[in-house]
Amino acid sequence: MSETPDRFSEESQTWTVRGKEAPDLDQGVAAIRSVVKTLPVRPGVYRMIDAGGDVLYVGKARALKNRVTNYTQVARLPRRLQRMVSQTRSMEIVTTNSEAEALLLEAQLIKRYRPPYNVLLRDDKSFPFILLREDHDFPRISKHRGARVAKGSYYGPFASAGAVNATLNALQKVFLLRSCTDSFFANRDRPCLLYQIKRCSAPCTGRIDAAGYAELANDAKNFLSGRTQEAQKKLAGAMQAAAEAMDFERAAVLRDRLKALTFIQGSQAINAEGAATDADVIAMATDGGAMCVQLFFIRGGQNWGHRSFFPGHTEGVDEAEVLQSFIAQLYEELPPPRELLLDRTLPEADLIADALSAKASRRVSLRHPKRGPACRLVEQAQRNAEEAIQRRRAETTTQGKLLRELAELFDLDAPPRRIEIYDNSHIQGTNALGAMVVSGPEGFEKGQYRKFNMEGGDFVPGDDFAMMKAMLTRRFARLDREDPDRTSGAWPDLCLIDGGKGQVAAVVAALEELGVGDVAIVGVAKGPDRNAGREIFHLPSGREISLPPNAPVLFFLQRLRDEAHRFAIGAHRAKRAKSLTQSPLDEVPGIGPSRKKALLLHFGTSRAVKGATLADLERAPGISKAMALAIWQHFHPNG
């Protein structure tokens, strides 16, 4: 037995049972039957596991014994599940106290393991929020992603960064809240540009007192919480009072703020009528086996954007099951609203509502409206889903044509399913970093991007050939170790290398040393005068290819190369920025922030600390003799 996940009660149990050796489907059925003998008739979650220990499928059940027994009746299973059973060699079981609890755990495990036989929410990017921090006398408003650990009020989610940025810009115009960091705020002696363009009230220089700023922050909270009329009436009243007092300059400022508020109210209230104050609108469209789920966010009575999702692994899966799995995974981390407006009635609607209510600690309802404004809202989401799937189909068709042209251009056996593009970035060998981006039939696969720290290798810093060879060696050595049978889909059909003959020769040598000889390698080098559009493509055979400047496949290859450039340079800049804030003292064992601060205040610089004698270190405040000796020995290992 293993420990129960923290999220569940001590009554839950976990165990693993290994099946006996048997060929293919019979072996899978035998493994499942050996587990069924030990199962209770109670709720829980089960995991199907293959011979390599990878999770094939995660499922939940009201009665584990009854549900898992179904997998032994192979003739009744669809072909997709028959394939899964044939690969199953063991199972892991977690019992829970309720089916709703099992639903939450199932979503959590699907997100963690991303099994190949589960419906997957492909877009795993976190949603942005607006954060109004409350740990400062003058609260800061900003965009926020990730864990909500900072003290303050969070408003969202928003469908995209564009939606949250537009709202932030409007809020700054209306409520004049600061967006600068605390350190920037603390070191200002005159207002910044945002004050000059009427986007901030400049609390940093005392242009507004704490009480006045708190009133602005409270107005912003009311607006973001849906009480928009209060803010509008307050601004209108203040503008009228200023006009009556003949303070026309202030009245004009208030008028502009009121116009900005009216604009954002109008733009965000579009099509929000008919939903609860906080609601998500979810609709699905299908076309030729492809599925699209459209999601609208309604918060505070305002439309905070929409996003299209294209769930993966949906072949042979019922639409209702896909939508139920989508909802469970979506709200695994995202806080659920008070109401979900759906385009259909789900078989497990009550179970989903109970699970989301338990997660939110308040009632969450699922509704399929048949008439009225809410029904029109759902119909609009459904139209958006249909249009999104049509656009995606058109894009996929274009992408497929380009991949076929690429295969013909480079004499590939078939259009590549996975293209890996490599680049590296450094400044005279410092902060060297390699990058890999991945593209497939549906475009860039950002979850597959990888960075490689290229410092400390057995090559001269700045040697691009050696860096590229080292990067590809590390990449393919790991691939060969983790997937020697090439069944995971992680092996590339084509590798594009940023560079010319030298880089291609280095990569070919690296792959030959690893015994990998069947991966196509192409170098992408800028042409004469490094002009875009005159690229030369280098093949390992020595053949060079140039394309007409207006060739669509050339634009496609340039886009791949440019994405690798963007990712490599961005990662390099982040690494360089981090190195600028690092200090040699960070590497000394036992030196934390307080001791580091004490040493720098006493000696002035980290270089002075490094050159200090043992006696000087002992005289530093807060540094014991033992610590002084440890610091001195760290910088003088041979002393």
Task: Please return the burial class of 454, using the count of CB atoms within 10 Å of its CB with bins 0-12, 13-18 and 19+.
Answer: buried
Between CA 546 and CA 554 the distance in angstroms is 9
Q: What is the pLDDT of residues 116-141, one digit of tens each?
A: 999 988 665 678 999 999 888 899 99
Q: Which tops the pLDDT comparison, 584 or 5?
A: 584
Average pLDDT, the chain: 84
Percentage of the chain exceeding pLDDT 70: 88
Rg (CA), the chain: 30
Per-residue exposure over 187-219, b if at least 16 CB sit within 10 Å of its own CB, e if not = eeeebbebbeeebbbbbbeeebeeeebeebbeb
Contact 159, 141 (CB under 8 A): no
The SS3 assignment for 450 reads strand
State the DSSP string of 128-186: PEEEEE-SSSS--EEEE-S---SSEEEE---SSHHHHHHHHHHHHHHH----S-HHHHH
Which strands sit side by side in the sheet containing 90-95, from one edge to the other? Answer: 14-18, 90-95, 44-49, 55-61
The total of other beta-carbon atoms located within 10 Å of residue 138's CB is 20
Within 8 A by CB and 6+ apart from 419, the residues are 438, 439, 440, 492, 493, 494, 495, 496, 560
pLDDT tops 90 at residue 293: yes
Q: Which tops the pLDDT comparison, 492 or 2?
A: 492
- Region 259-275: mean pLDDT is 56
pLDDT tops 50 at residue 307: yes
pLDDT tops 50 at residue 11: no
The SS3 assignment for 294 reads strand
pLDDT tops 50 at residue 6: no
State the DSSP code for 53.
S
- Dihedral of CA 348/354/359/360: which sign? positive
pLDDT tops 50 at residue 29: yes
Which domains are delineated in the chain? Answer: 14-113 (3.40.1440.10), 129-268 (no CATH), 279-389 (3.30.420.340), 419-575 (3.30.420.340), 584-635 (1.10.150.20)
Q: What is the pLDDT of residues 470-500, one digit of tens each?
A: 999 999 999 888 888 787 788 999 999 998 8
What's the pLDDT at 228? 66
What's the pLDDT at 2? 38
